[in-house]
Amino acid sequence: MTQNIFCIGRNYEKHIKELHNQRSDKPVVFSKPTHALAAADGQSIALPSGQGAVHYETELVIKMGRDFEPEMQVDDLVDEMAIGLDLTLRDVQQKLKENGHPWLLAKGFPQSAIISDFFSFPGVEQCNEKTFSLLLNGIKVQEGCIRDMIFDLDEQIRYIASHFGLKAGDIIFTGTPAGVGPLSDGDQLVFLWDDTEVGSCIIVLR
Ligand code: ZN
């Protein structure tokens, strides 16, 4: 069962550029309530309307298989992974940023963390050789590889553990590559790990 949902922002250079953000010298961390979770198991998922654009951010999600201990490596700590969407009310987030307010209103709404089934984590080395991607109505709109991360999985885990604690069942959305964009009512989403479909859903936005 998922305990805490941590998310890393601004972790891929090209995504930072597309949103005209600044690169940070430390991981940018935020979290979502557990009510944000929604399974990409083929179901229709309702999202907020009337608050501006809802953007998809496709991310590799890791799950802690055991409580953090400093001497352990990523491959010892992480037991499963998934592909997920860190959904973002982009217009709301822009206003929050301008006012220096936390992002929770833009990032923490119900069903804002859509996630495929978890599957066995193959290890960092193998993840470095594979891609994760999102098909939007059959067209690949995002493709990423964790090799391109600014802060790698080990740095993320250590940073989160030192500031917030990190235990078995906690999950981390590890940041989105470039290509984020708005969702529309009826959009069909398919999550791919390499070329294998690992989840899907249909967006309801009215
Ligand atoms: Zn994100």
173-193 pLDDT, tens digit per residue, is 999 999 999 999 999 999 999
The answer to whether 109 and 36 are in contact (CB under 8 A) is yes
The pLDDT value recorded for residue 51 is: 95
Question: Among residues 7, 11, 12, 57, which one has the least CA distance to residue 30?
Answer: 7
Q: How far, in Å, is the centroid of ligand 1 from the Cα of 196?
A: 22
pLDDT digits (tens, 9 = 90+) for 105-130: 999 999 999 999 999 999 999 999 99
Q: How far, in Å, is the centroid of ligand 1 from the Cα of 70?
A: 26
Q: How many domains does the chain have?
A: 1
CATH number, domain of 128, equals 3.90.850.10
The pLDDT value recorded for residue 95 is: 96
Rounded CA separation 64/168 (Å): 5
The pLDDT value recorded for residue 206 is: 80
pTM (predicted TM-score):
0.96
Q: How far, in Å, is the centroid of ligand 1 from the Cα of 160?
A: 15
The pLDDT value recorded for residue 187 is: 98
Which domain, by its residues, includes 109? Answer: 5-205
Q: How far, in Å, is the centroid of ligand 1 from the Cα of 11?
A: 9
Please state, as a whole number, how many other Cβ atoms lie within 10 Å of the Cβ of residue 26: 9
Element of type H or E holding 94: helix 90-99
The pLDDT value recorded for residue 42 is: 98
DSSP annotation string for 55-73: EE-EEEEEEESS---TT--
Q: How far, in Å, is the centroid of ligand 1 from the Cα of 9?
A: 5
